[in-house]
Amino acid sequence: MGSATSPKRVLLLTNSEHGQANVFLATSYGLLTLEDEDVEVHFASFPPIKSLVSTTSNHAQADKPGARPIVFHAIEGIDMVSAWSRPEIVAEQNALKDQSIFWLINAIRRTLVLLKVTLPWTGPEFVQIMHSITAIIQDTQPNMIAVDPAFSPALTVLRQTKAKFIVLTPNTIKDFAMPAQPNAEALWKYPCLGTTYPYPIPLLSIPHNTLLILLSLLVSLFDPHRRALTTYLAHHYHSTPGSVNATTTKLTTLSDLALHAAKLNTKFLVANLPEMELPLRIIPRHVVPCGPMLRPARPLGEVDADLQRWLLASPGGGSSKTVVVYINLGTHVVFDGGMVGEMAGAVRVLLDAAARAAAYDDAKDGGGGGAHHKGGSAVIVERVLGEEVRKGVVKVVEWLEAEPTAVLAAGTVVCAVHHGGANSFLESVSAGVPQVVLPLWMDTYDFARRAELLGIGRWGNLIADRLCEANEFGSRRLTYAQKARELAELCKRSGGGRVIAARHVLAEIDDGNDQLSTIGQKESDLLLDSNGNGHC
């Protein structure tokens, strides 16, 4: 336990993949900068994230003199992204693009690939990571552990040792609340992951949706990779002298954690709010909505003064106020020539529409940060948008040095275009910027649905069977600024998600088992009416 003379020691266990690690970086900053707390943060992950941990630590110390530096612990073994990027797994993902395969077989294959991506390690790799995490826990002796729910080796260690922990996740309330919904609503009311069905699901589509969900559960139950990993763990721990008994070493994944959360007495701190979620009847008491957890960003002018000048300057040197469309499709979207052509064509449609509205000189497009461009892309962009690039109306970059939150905060961005990743969606919501979502896989479709249901944006490729189609995407009109601003204000309550999450983590240290009610979480499942109002 922490005391007046010793700091509260918190250990964070996460994958180094940015989509998962960003909430840990944000909460680290939140923990270190609480004015009334003395916290020692230990951050355990793989080496690729170390530089961002150091940057976050420096930022916290600059904002709160006397804050302790984050202690980084490198986990031994192969990180999640490197594991799922192996040629054999990539080949399985690429095979899913074949639309000629019977839909039932493709659904089974898609589920198996998803399971492999979320659990990409071999038996020896998994055990190596477990041993490293065990050693880190023994060395740090934390008062509380916060864990990434997609980090199966860490979950397995924590469940094996019966350690007290809390889950910290960029996932939504819905992701963990489905089993609690009444009348089997999880099967017929909410679209199956990875489908383009709208919410609510049309009556004629309910049987297909239900079949897909039941099929996914069945495939998960008999997943050969999981079964092989389970067998390896049992054999390893049974045959290793001095190891724990095999019966207590249970492979634990995200789905296991969700099913056994109540029994494990584990809280799930989610980067979401009921007001930003699909309509739910029940929010289980172990799911704690914190709101977007965003890591702090240095001001844009400090990181990229040229980009800041471009964002603020009127196109063509005019006196009218500039407005910017910001396109950033993350680190995992890989463009081929066709994708580049459609994206450039969509921007062409947008600029032509602006010209017809006599507003050409007032519109600008910022593109491409974080997207990988293959050879020939520059030629395509030059052919379609060359004149606009030379005029400074369109700017294409291979990578943004500044954080997306700093770009969105510049004040001139009127629309954010992204692929539907959780962080991209939450960054746009927190900035009060309307968005167009171009989902490509699994949960990204859910965020496209949310944008439309919440009235803060549009699904930009619902008709296209690829990243985008120029006329569909380019002609999207947005009139969602007011609602976007209202949600942004909501996200700032109580200091924002990273502060709320930090308070909850420390509350588990201070109050023991189930005392989170003092900072907003009711001690029973929360029943929501049709307007989203809560009733215990």
Instruction: Assess contact for 490 and 275: CB atoms under 8 A.
Output: yes
Matching CATH topology for 8-293+496-524 and 300-491? yes
How far is the C-alpha of 272 from the C-alpha of 267, rounded, in Å? 14
How far is the C-alpha of 212 from the C-alpha of 209, rounded, in Å? 5
Tell me which of 314 and 220 has the higher pLDDT. Answer: 220
- Residues 414-424 have pLDDT tens digits of 889 998 888 89
The pLDDT assigned to 234 comes to 87
pLDDT band at 522 (very low <50, low <70, confident <90, very high): very low
Spans of all domains in the chain: 8-293+496-524, 300-491
The pLDDT assigned to 226 comes to 92
Phi, psi of 455 (to 5 degrees): 75, 35
Closest listed residue to residue 315, CA positions, set 354, 356, 368:
354
Q: What is the CATH number of domain 8-293+496-524?
A: 3.40.50.2000
**Given a cut of 60, is residue 158 above it in pLDDT?**
yes
Coil vs helix vs strand at 533: coil
Q: State pTM to two decimals.
A: 0.85
How far is the C-alpha of 450 from the C-alpha of 459, rounded, in Å? 9
Q: What is the mean pLDDT of residues 227-232?
A: 92
Q: What is the mean pLDDT of residues 116-145?
A: 94
Q: Of 63-67, 320-324, 389-393, where does the model show the most confidence?
A: 63-67
Residues 370-373: contacts with CB within 8 Å, 24+ apart?
A: 370/328, 370/329, 370/330, 370/331, 370/399, 370/400, 371/328, 371/329, 371/330, 371/333, 371/334, 371/335, 372/331, 372/333, 372/334, 372/335, 373/335, 373/340, 373/398
How far is the C-alpha of 232 from the C-alpha of 229, rounded, in Å? 5
Q: Which residues of 323-357 are buried (b: 16+ CB within 10 A; e: fewer)?
A: bbbbbbbbbbbebeeebbbbbbbbbbbbbeebeee
Instruction: Assess contact for 323 and 414: CB atoms under 8 A.
Output: yes
- Residues 161-202 have pLDDT tens digits of 888 899 999 999 999 999 899 999 999 999 998 888 999 999
Length of the chain: 536
Which of 67-76, 228-237, 394-403 is predicted least confidently?
394-403
The one-letter amino acid at 65: P
296-to-67, 287, 443, 477, 499 alpha-carbon distances in Å:
15, 25, 25, 31, 12
Instruction: Assess contact for 31 and 166: CB atoms under 8 A.
Output: no
**Given a cut of 80, is residue 442 above it in pLDDT?**
no
- Residues 94-128 have pLDDT tens digits of 766 666 667 778 788 888 888 888 899 999 999 99
Domain over 300-491 is classified CATH 3.40.190.10 = no
Coil vs helix vs strand at 364: strand
State yes or no: cis peptide before 279, omega within 30 of 0. Answer: no
Provide the β-strand partners of residue 43.
Answer: 12, 72
The pLDDT assigned to 463 comes to 73
Phi-psi region of 74 (alpha: psi -120 to 50; beta: other; left: phi over 0): beta
